[in-house]
Copies of this chain bind each other. A is one copy, B any other.
Amino acid sequence: MLSQRRESILKGIIGEYLATAVPVASLTIARIGTLGVSPATIRNDMALLEEEGYITHPYTSAGRVPSDKGYRYYLEWLMPLEALSLPYRRTILHQFHQVEGDIDEWAHLAATLLANTTNNLAIVTIPRATQPRLRHLEVLLIHPDRALLVAVLGGARVRRQVLRLTDPVSQDRINAVVLLLNDELQGLRGPQIADKSALLPNLERQIAEATARILSAEESLQLGEPIIEGRRYLMTQPEFYGGARMQELIEVLEGENPIEAVPLNTLEENSITVMIGSENSITAMQSFSVVVARYGKRSGLTGGVSVIGPTRMDYGRTIASVKYLAGVMGRMVENSSD
């Protein structure tokens, strides 16, 4: 627990540093005027704050810079709660209702809005049911031995796949088979479909097996393909500008599983989590902070909304934005789920 004045000093340092990105001097804090003490006194307190790890200075005679621990303290105790302005929330909602699309498009919109309001990189993942069920099956012949299989799953998700048939068939035959299969398989999950398919005749089996594969693939993904927006903001951050830390992060974001940059799995739904710098578990993220929220019901459809930026980010605004957009996404999903 810090004394009243030291808290003010820490708050001042962080406020100033967020605004200017320049180490802040004791004189600067004194000039803010709310403390009524001299720079020397502030220096004494700064020395103490530094001893306890809330701030550092890059070299002997530079101003002070908040440490990860300092940001954490600020977040926990000092930061004023912030909310997006009503008109701005209205604009956002309006845009969501404009888009007559599906979950994918909403997620794109959310990511874009988030990136632009926070001036940082935003990642939104599309919700997936942990146990997707088949809602409807459709098969269209492309060539005599090649068919397009369209599977509609719970939660307005549509998956398609080109299927190679061992023997040529007609569309009529397909239609008959699919009609039956729909009766048989509707509402089932991947493994159940796989079980049933073993007993079916050749053509039916091929279709059912492919369907089962689609469902299993869906299930094995805990989270959908993440949508990343606002890479440019990350690149223009003066403190990274082409540095090695950024390279590392880009590599993760471009890699197999970009979402691992964000600790989504550990989250409760409807709560918001902030990881500051070294608090992040993966090394590529140690110089960045992430603000993340999970939306949707854990049992059903669940996805994540997150922002990645430098530790020197406007946490208030970012948290407000992430929270709000996670809420919006949650409601959108709720309304369209089955």
Task: Pick from B142, B152, B251: contact of A338, CB below 8 A.
Answer: B142
* Partner-contacting stretch, out of A77-85, A159-167, A275-283, A308-316: A159-167
Task: Determine chain A's interface SS by DSSP, over half rule.
Answer: mixed
When distances are taken between beta carbons in the complex, the residues of chain B under 8 Å from A235 are 235, 242, 246-247, 250
Task: Pick from B136, B152, B160, B250: contact of A156, CB below 8 A.
Answer: B160
Interface size on A, residues (CB 8 A): 39
When distances are taken between beta carbons in the complex, the residues of chain B under 8 Å from A150 are 138, 150, 152, 158
CA distance A164 to B230 in the complex (A): 31
Query: A185 to nearest B CB, angstroms?
Result: 15
Task: Pick from B138, B152, B247: contact of A236, CB below 8 A.
Answer: B247
A135 close to B (CB within 8 Å) = yes
Contact B337 A142 (CB under 8 A): yes
When distances are taken between beta carbons in the complex, the residues of chain B under 8 Å from A210 are 100
CA distance A198 to B210 in the complex (A): 39
A101 close to B (CB within 8 Å) = yes
When distances are taken between beta carbons in the complex, the residues of chain B under 8 Å from A254 are 229-232
Task: Pick from B148, B156, B161, B236: contact of A148, CB below 8 A.
Answer: B156
Given contacts A142-B336, A162-B336, contact A231 B232 (CB under 8 A): no
- Chain B residue at smallest Cβ distance from A233: B254
Contact B100 A163 (CB under 8 A): yes
Task: Pick from B102, B140, B162: contact of A162, CB below 8 A.
Answer: B102
CA distance A160 to B229 in the complex (A): 23
When distances are taken between beta carbons in the complex, the residues of chain B under 8 Å from A161 are 100-102
Could you write out 11 A-B pairs with CB less than 8 Å apart?
Answer: A102-B148, A102-B161, A138-B138, A148-B336, A158-B158, A162-B336, A229-B254, A230-B254, A231-B231, A235-B246, A236-B247
